[in-house]
Amino acid sequence: MKPIRLKIKGLNSFIESQCIDFGKLTQRGLFGIFGPTGSGKSTILDGMTLALYGETSRKSSNYININCNTLSVSFEFQISGRNIKKYRVEREFKRDNKTGSPRSKLAKIVDVTDDVEKILEEGARNVTEKCEDIIGLRLEDFTRTVVLPQGKFNEFLRLEGKDRRNMLERLFNLQEYGYELSEKLSKKIGREKDKANLIEGELKGYENINEKVLEEKKNTLCELNKNYDKCQSELVNSQNEFNDGKELWNLQEDLKHQVIEQEKLKKSEVYINEIQQKVLLGESASKVKPYVDEYENTLSKIRSIEEEILILNDTMVSIKNNKDEIESKLENVKNKRNNELPNLKIKEQKAIEAIEEKSVLNILIHDKEKLEKNIAVLKQDLQTNSRTIEKSEVDISRIKCQIKDSENKMQVLKIPEEYKKKINEGIVILNNLESIGEQKKSTARDMESLKSSIETEEKKSEILAKKNNEKSNLLEDNNKLLNNLIENCPGDQNSLLTLQKNLTDVRDKWSKYYEYEGDLHSSTTLIEKLKIELQNKKSEKGNLENEIEEIDKKVKKIEAENLAHTLRKSLVEGEPCPVCGSVHHVVENVIILDSNNLKELKLDLDAKIQKSNKLNNEIVKIDTNIKVQKENTADRHKKMKELGENFKAFPLKDVESKFNNLKKAVDEFNNKKIALENKIKILNQDKNIIEIEYSKSVTRKVENRSQLQKLQESFQKIDQKCAKVNREYKSLKQELGICNFKEKNEEILEKEKSRTLLENVIKNLRKDLEIEQRKKESLNEKLMTLQTQLSKNSATFVEKNKSIVEKENSIKDKACGREDLENLKREISGNIKKIEYEYEEIEKNNKKIEKQYNECSSSIIAAQKNLVSLNERCTDDLENLRKALSEEKIQNMVEAKNNYMPKDKIEELKIKIEQYRNASAKIIGTIENLNTKIGDRSLSEDRWIEIQSTRDKNIETLEKLKKDKIEFEREVKDIDEKIGQLTKLLNKKQKLEHELSLLDDLDKLFKGKKFVEFVAQNQLKYISIEADKRLKEITCGNYGLEVDKDGRFIIRDYKNGGAQRDASTLSGGETFVTSLALALALSAQIQLKGSAPLELFFLDEGFGTLDDNLLEVVMDSLEKIHNDRLSIGIISHLESIKDRMPVKLIVTPAESGMGGSKVKIEIN
């Protein structure tokens, strides 16, 4: 990814739109970004990440400038490959009014290859995902790749132990393999254990669930179904009897109720006749009522108008007196208004003008006082400004003297460049000599250490060989024991399961056999009992039917005789008989039977019929029970036949004993086998460990001997090199005449530092001089301004005094010498208002009394006309009333009033009369209808209660059986489902136990940070290879970088024959280039995640501590590594490296009133 152009507006310290042209900035390959702290250097990187990923690299959420409500960023970049592609990302943000946080307003990514714009995605999330897809890196990886924090790698070179491991974890982002992975694994184990506990808890709920329980429940349910069907049949019979009885009982109750209602209506008949008479009188009175009302209304109006005329005459007299008095007052007020009012208004106007001029006078006096104070302040400022100018001239002279003295001192401290170069060369040789000496000592120590290690490994390998033989012998003995045990195996798990299945089958068959045998015996016994009971009941029923037949004949005979007797009584001699037609009737010698005897016979007949029905029901029940028991007996015979005869050959106790013996033997065999297998496994593991240790020991011994030989050769080369460097050092000391190069170098450095300090002092003094000169110019300008202002204010003061005197004289003339102008104005205004008010009030009263006089006069005339008209109408109304009373046959007006009823009351009484007649007719019809329906049937209360009780008992029994049936069906279904669930839970438990076993193994593997160290070492190996290439490229093959077996960095010094050096022996410049190579290697490793290589990175930190010499080395290194496909940017606020950059991006900080930060590109 190669940046082309970045535009930012409203981001952090940038208010106005700023454009960074990376094409121009990276044209030399190396560039710097400079500016003071807080100017916005890092904001440029924030702009790139905000455009690509929608958030800043520093994860800030408050990145909109406080003076802006919106932010916009546009970033154009190029992806280099076979086909070059160009893209532009644009985003806009706005500040949320409630929270103040940024919110995305617009986001889009555009393909701008070949200057043709094509929108690829829109929307914040979609644009971010598209950018990640194009570049192939997320925000964290992009930031770690683009910005290389040099100081971290400097530190990384020297760290060891835990600190180094922690830094590896941070740099390679290995948290996911360390604590995070362990935490995830612990959480996973916790979750799985929770699941296992949950399954154990669930299994406890299935303790009494098995196939045997299910079979027992099914048998019980079968019995319940039979009883339920039987009870349902009984309920149908009782329900039919109940329905017939209920119909008859309701008819009887209804008949009783209707008879009672008929008696009630008969009692109301007298009251209804009275109401009917009232209705007739009320209707006559209603016809006369309008004439009565009209006559009385006319009389009332005549009396009212006569009273009104008397009141109006009295009012007319009072109004006339008031009218004369008000007209007199009005004349007096008119005269006063015309004479006094004009003079008062002139005086009022003068008072108003005087008040206005007094207000202007007060303003003039205030302005005069303000000018006096202003003139005094201006005079004081003039004096202060003059003294400040004099002081500034003295300071300018002093600063010029200081600058001259400092320049003289700098000249004294100057040292020739050639001399400095030779001193530096001597220091390099001395450092090299010391480094070679350290290498010699280190090599000697390593040689001694290797000799000791070789001896130790020889002893260790002998001990391990002996232990290995012992373990082999033990392993062979245990294998023999295991083979013997397997040969004598009593049986496997399959044979045990087969025997257990046989045992279960035999046990079930014997259990069912005993159960069926018991059922057969009880059913046979019950059938014999029921048959005897059935025979008795049938015999009893036959006798009862004969008795019923005899009683029925007697009842019919008595009823016929009684009917004939009733007919005879109604016959009249000479009239024809309705039966035979005869007109002669003989009533002698007729037998009359007793009616009481008939009732007794009917009651006895009903009782016997009921008893017969009851016996019939009992016979049906017994017969049904016999059939059910016979079916049960046949079913049990069939099931016993299905069981077969084979199981009787195996007694249950023998099968159980055989199974228990085999189970015990198999369990003992399995325990012994597992114990031996575990022992063999442990011995194999121990033997493997010993063999691995022995192999490692032999390998280390061979490697140590090889390493010792190499070290001996290296020691000889170092010794030769040491002698050569020592000769060069002595020769340079003689040439320069110096004993101690380091002391001389420190002396030169002190002088250089002093020169630098003096340069800074002179620079600061020149700035102070410039400030003082500007200050003096500013003070001179201020002095001129103050003098001009003072002259202007003095002239204005004189004019104000003159205006004040003129205004005071004018006010005195207009106010006639009075000081209290407001009171004067109020007095005059009050008099004017008083006269106006009096005139208006009296004129208003005059109009009001005139209106009252006219209205009263009109009312008297109208009332007199109405009185004449009403007297005429009264005579006519009286005549009409007399005619109406005569027509309706009413004696007088009083009688008409007493009999009068409202129309709605009359209608209400008519409705009552009609309702009474309808109710009487309805009850008579209902009683006849009910008698027809009942006929000759009857039902006593005791019999009805008995029918209800029988039916309720049957319903209750059926409901109980139904509930039991539903309950057992549910239990059977639940048990069946639970057996399926139990099977699933057991499978799940087995699977979970296997998974927990694997997780425990993983937990042991990831404990501590062993896995992190393993991954880190792997990563470090690849990075060290890349860093070695980079370092060789930067140093022209003088240095290389390796990692030893303990993961420490080793420097290869190829100038000294490829000698190994510890990172702690590197000089400042060597440390910088080594850590730079390491940083570049890490950046390349992270970029492997991406789909396009990054063609730009920034170096941050690491420059502030470098001296001029080291800075030269660093700049040379950076010049070597940049190329057409890789540009390097240095971020710094130091002026010391600014002049060394070929291209600079200068960031100017924001200034109050001058806008936000600004950027510009400078090219040397």
pLDDT tier, 166 (very low <50, low <70, confident <90, very high otherwise):
low
pLDDT tier, 589 (very low <50, low <70, confident <90, very high otherwise):
very low
Number of H helices, E strands in the chain: 21, 15
When pLDDT is averaged across residues 598-621 and rounded to a whole number, the result is 79
Q: What is the spatial distance between Cα 703 and Cα 686, in angstroms, rounded to a whole number?
A: 25
Order of strands, edge to edge, in the sheet holding 1039-1043? Answer: 1039-1043, 1049-1053, 1059-1062
When pLDDT is averaged across residues 545-567 and rounded to a whole number, the result is 74
3-state secondary structure of 1022: helix
The pLDDT, as a whole number, for residue 518 is 82
Q: Considering only residues 1139 and 158, tell me which one the structure prediction assigns the higher pLDDT.
A: 1139
pLDDT tier, 283 (very low <50, low <70, confident <90, very high otherwise):
confident
Q: What is the spatial distance between Cα 1120 and Cα 666, in angstroms, rounded to a whole number?
A: 80
The pLDDT, as a whole number, for residue 74 is 95
The pLDDT, as a whole number, for residue 1088 is 57
pLDDT tier, 1130 (very low <50, low <70, confident <90, very high otherwise):
confident
Each residue of 451-499: pLDDT tens digit? Answer: 888 888 888 888 888 888 888 888 888 888 877 877 777 666 667 667 7
When pLDDT is averaged across residues 297-319 and rounded to a whole number, the result is 81
Residue bearing tokens 């990440």: 49
Residues listed for the chain: 1164
Residue 56 has pLDDT above 80, yes or no: yes
The pLDDT, as a whole number, for residue 1112 is 67
Q: What is the spatial distance between Cα 432 and Cα 725, in angstroms, rounded to a whole number?
A: 8
pLDDT tier, 1155 (very low <50, low <70, confident <90, very high otherwise):
confident
Residues 87, 135 contacting (CB under 8 angstroms)? no
Name the packing angle between helices 124-135 and 41-53 (round to 10°): 100
Residue 152 has pLDDT above 70, yes or no: no
Domain definitions of the chain by residue range: 2-136+1091-1163
pLDDT tier, 79 (very low <50, low <70, confident <90, very high otherwise):
confident
Q: Considering only residues 240 and 1158, tell me which one the structure prediction assigns the higher pLDDT.
A: 1158
Sign of the dihedral through C-alpha 733, 739, 745, 748: negative
Alpha carbon of 809 to those of 53, 359, 361, 812: distances in Å?
83, 14, 11, 5
CATH node for 2-136+1091-1163:
3.40.50.300
Residue 628 has pLDDT above 90, yes or no: no
pLDDT tier, 412 (very low <50, low <70, confident <90, very high otherwise):
confident
- On average, the pLDDT of the chain sits at 77
Residue 59 has pLDDT above 90, yes or no: no
Each residue of 767-823: pLDDT tens digit? Answer: 888 888 788 788 778 778 877 777 777 777 777 777 777 777 777 776 666 667 677
When pLDDT is averaged across residues 299-315 and rounded to a whole number, the result is 81
Residue 116 has pLDDT above 70, yes or no: yes
Residue 513 has pLDDT above 80, yes or no: no
Residue 588 has pLDDT above 60, yes or no: no
Residues 439, 1061 contacting (CB under 8 angstroms)? yes
Each residue of 701-758: pLDDT tens digit? Answer: 777 777 788 778 888 888 887 888 788 777 877 777 777 777 777 777 777 778 778 7
Q: What is the spatial distance between Cα 49 and Cα 46, in angstroms, rounded to a whole number?
A: 5
Q: What is the spatial distance between Cα 1016 and Cα 1006, in angstroms, rounded to a whole number?
A: 14
Residue 594 has pLDDT above 60, yes or no: no
Each residue of 984-1014: pLDDT tens digit? Answer: 877 887 888 778 777 777 776 666 666 666 7
Q: What is the spatial distance between Cα 613 and Cα 586, in angstroms, rounded to a whole number?
A: 45
Q: What is the spatial distance between Cα 793 and Cα 382, in angstroms, rounded to a whole number?
A: 14
3-state secondary structure of 110: strand
Residue 685 has pLDDT above 50, yes or no: yes
Residue 633 has pLDDT above 60, yes or no: yes
pLDDT tier, 87 (very low <50, low <70, confident <90, very high otherwise):
very high
Per-residue buried b or exposed e for 319-343, using 16+ beta carbons within 10 Å of the residue's own CB: beeeeeebeeeeeebeeeeeeeeee
Which DSSP state fits 572? -
The pLDDT, as a whole number, for residue 21 is 92
Range of lowest pLDDT (93-102, 157-166, 183-192, 1121-1130):
157-166
pLDDT tier, 172 (very low <50, low <70, confident <90, very high otherwise):
low
Residue 51 has pLDDT above 90, yes or no: yes
Q: Chain centroid to CA 517: how far?
A: 69
Each residue of 883-892: pLDDT tens digit? Answer: 777 777 777 7
The pLDDT, as a whole number, for residue 719 is 80
Residue 380 has pLDDT above 90, yes or no: no
Residues 281, 889 contacting (CB under 8 angstroms)? no
Percent pLDDT > 70 in the chain is 85
Q: Which helix (H) or strand (E) holds 1161?
A: strand 1158-1163
Q: What is the CA radius of gyration of the chain?
A: 66
| CB neighbour list of residue 529: distance below 8 Å, 6 or more residues apart | none
Residue 6 has pLDDT above 90, yes or no: yes
The pLDDT, as a whole number, for residue 1068 is 66
The pLDDT, as a whole number, for residue 1085 is 66
Percent pLDDT > 90 in the chain is 4
3-state secondary structure of 113: helix
